[in-house]
């Protein structure tokens, strides 16, 4: 079943890339950065393989592909930024449930943004877990949009170019990588289930905080 699903996904992406080229990559990344749903690692890695390596284009296309992808990334991030800026936290909390984002992750990103500011918007674009969330606290804090746009584009361009380059170099080894992942999948699932179980056990055992009232002497 995993093989069939993989074939369907690859075929669908290949069809979109053949029809739209780098505009298809940009469209994927607009959606990914606006919602955090689609994994950009797969989108960009396959773009480096399917749009550059498979067409026997020179490696000099990698920076140009990174530019197109960064445009899509910054447009999608801008959507999330303006939703947060105009709608505030109530809208973000409602949308987080729809796109399955843990509100705790939003809170964590907001705290990190308050600490690091513009630097986190720039560096966070190459940090999994922060990359797609950082637009939200930036919008909530009403960070100047021009500053947000420039920092996001620079960080996204670095990320996109690196992953496209990796796809260009390793894309022809996809069958080997896929076979290895399939072999490791049961162990990854078991490890994930174990980690979740330990976390759940720890949270359930953690005593609730009860404020202590000190009587006046």
pLDDT of 211 reads: 47
- E-state strands within 18-162: none
- The predicted model scores a pTM of 0.70
Task: Flag whether 69 is in a domain.
Answer: yes
pLDDT of 205 reads: 56
Domain count, the chain: 1
pLDDT of 50 reads: 87
Task: Measure the CA–CA gap between 214 and 80, rounded to whole angstroms.
Answer: 47
pLDDT of 210 reads: 45
How many CB atoms are closer than 10 A to CB 6?
14
Task: Flag whether 86 is in a domain.
Answer: yes
Task: Flag whether 215 is in a domain.
Answer: no
| Residue that has been written with the tokens 């009403």 in this structure | 142
Task: Flag whether 111 is in a domain.
Answer: yes
Task: Flag whether 202 is in a domain.
Answer: no
pLDDT (tens place) for every residue of the chain, 217 residues total: 445 655 676 777 888 888 899 999 999 999 888 887 777 788 888 888 889 988 888 988 999 999 999 999 999 999 989 988 898 877 777 776 665 566 666 666 667 777 777 777 887 777 766 777 788 888 888 889 999 999 899 989 998 998 888 888 886 665 554 554 455 545 555 655 565 566 456 545 555 444 445 454 4
Length of the chain as a residue count: 217
pLDDT of 77 reads: 92
Task: Flag whether 68 is in a domain.
Answer: yes
Residue 25 contacts by C-beta under 8 Å, 6 or more apart in sequence?
17, 43, 44, 47, 51, 65, 68, 69, 72
Query: Is 30:72 a contact under the CB 8 Å cutoff?
Result: yes
Largest CA distance in the chain: 84
Query: Is 110:135 a contact under the CB 8 Å cutoff?
Result: no
Task: Flag whether 9 is in a domain.
Answer: yes
CA separation, residue 22 to residues 47, 50, 66 (Å): 8, 11, 10
Q: How many CA atoms lie within 13 A of 145 on its CB side?
A: 12
Task: Flag whether 89 is in a domain.
Answer: yes
Is residue 132 exposed (0-12), middle (13-18) or buried (19+ Cβ within 10 Å)?
buried
Q: Which domain holds residue 128?
A: 2-185
Query: Is 59:145 a contact under the CB 8 Å cutoff?
Result: no
């Amino acid at each position: 079943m995993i093989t069939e699903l993989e074939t369907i996904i690859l075929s669908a992406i290949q069809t979109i890339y053949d029809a739209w080229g780098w505009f298809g990559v940009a469209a994927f990344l607009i959606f990914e950065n606006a919602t955090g749903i689609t994994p950009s690692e797969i989108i960009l890695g396959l773009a480096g393989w399917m749009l550059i390596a498979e067409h026997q284009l020179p490696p000099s296309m990698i920076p140009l592909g990174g530019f197109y992808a960064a445009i899509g990334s910054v447009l999608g991030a801008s959507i999330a930024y303006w939703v947060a800026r105009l709608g505030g936290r109530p809208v973000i909390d409602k949308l987080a449930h729809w796109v399955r984002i843990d509100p705790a992750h939003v809170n964590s990103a907001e705290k990190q943004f308050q600490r690091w500011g513009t630097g986190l918007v720039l560096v966070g674009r190459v940090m999994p877990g922060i990359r797609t969330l950082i637009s939200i606290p930036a919008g909530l804090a009403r960070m100047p949009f021009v500053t947000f746009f420039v920092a996001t584009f620079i960080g996204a361009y670095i990320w996109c170019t690196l992953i496209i380059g990796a796809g260009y170099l390793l894309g022809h080894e996809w069958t080997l990588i896929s076979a290895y992942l399939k072999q490791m999948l049961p162990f990854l699932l078991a490890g994930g289930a174990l980690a979740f179980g330990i976390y759940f056990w720890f949270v359930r055992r953690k005593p609730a905080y009860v404020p202590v009232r000190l009587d006046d002497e």
